[in-house]
Amino acid sequence: MSVENIKKIGVIGAGQMGRGIAHVSALAGYDVHLLDSNADALAVALDTIKSYMDRQVEKGKAEQADVDAALPRISIGSEMSAFSDADLVIEAATEDEEVKKAILQDLCPVLKPEAIIASNTSSISITRLAAKTDRPGQFVGMHFMNPVPAMELVEMIRGIATNEETFKTVSALAVKMGKTPVPAEDFPAFIVNRMLMPMINEAVYTLYEGVGTVAAIDNAMRMGAHHPMGPLQLADFIGLDTCLAVMNVLHDGLADSKYRPCPLLVKYVEAGWLGKKTGKGFYDYSGDEPVPTR
């Protein structure tokens, strides 16, 4: 399948990544079906997409006519059967390998033979995920960055069985979405998270060991390294559960103690303090301004 043959895109998962992928897909001119088992999540996703598109118009980053055309292209639902005519389905569910494998096994029977599957996993082996499908040659990693509408990069990961046509087609699709595809090998966490997550984990260790407070650590990296956002605030935006999942993949996959997740990160996740999406993480987001929780 060539990129010209892609007309309808399916997206599985209405969280911050899934709705962002649906957003850029619709704005690029594709019909999009966004699937989630949670009806409330789907409603929130549509509202969020509209609000973000409106902000893009206000900032001159999108034309009103393009937004008016894009929003009706997005449909929502909870049945896999809606993907029967999809040309590409992007899995953007939670960063849990068993959950993803179960979704893929439910998805494959409804797809037409030529349909491509992409996973937005940020760390899990594309080869292992592809092996759970009926089309490993038509399976590829397509790791968007968060927030999807604003970030230019898409990591393109080829599994051992991914065929060249699939890789080229989905890379070309990323360009049509206004992104820059960068190829990455199928090793734990790929490129960005292989470097970014250990830095975040080390920032949590710095907090855990009392070297600095949340505010001190984040201010130090913003002002001392000119990072636009401190590592602990960034972890909150990513989701602490996702950070922990990636560190576990690194630790398990590379068998190196330097990737051991910080016990404090584990504790926050156990408490349900997952960051901005739950209202509390390294910062409390219940007020007008985020307040450090430590």
Half-sphere exposure of 268 (CA within 13 A, CB side): 33
Catalytically annotated residue among 23, 33, 155, 171: 155
Question: Residue 26 gets which letter from DSSP?
Answer: H
Strands 31-35 and 8-12, by their bridges, are parallel
Residue 163 is a catalytic residue: no
Residue 122 is a catalytic residue: yes
Peptide bond into 136 cis (omega under 30): no
Give 9's strand partners: 32, 88
How far apart are the C-alpha atoms of 73 and 1, rounded to whole Å?
Answer: 22
Determine which helix (DSSP H) or strand (DSSP E) holds 144, and give its type and residue range. Answer: strand 139-144
Residue 143 is a catalytic residue: yes
Catalytically annotated residue among 125, 143, 171, 201: 143
Catalytically annotated residue among 25, 122, 123, 171: 122
* Token pair listed for 294: 């430590």
CA distances from 38 to 67, 78, 106, 178 (A): 25, 8, 17, 29
Grouping H, G, I as helix, E, B as strand and the rest as coil, residue 134 is coil
Catalytically annotated residue among 123, 125, 171, 193: 193
Q: Report, as residue numbers or ranges, the catalytic residues.
A: 122, 143, 155, 193
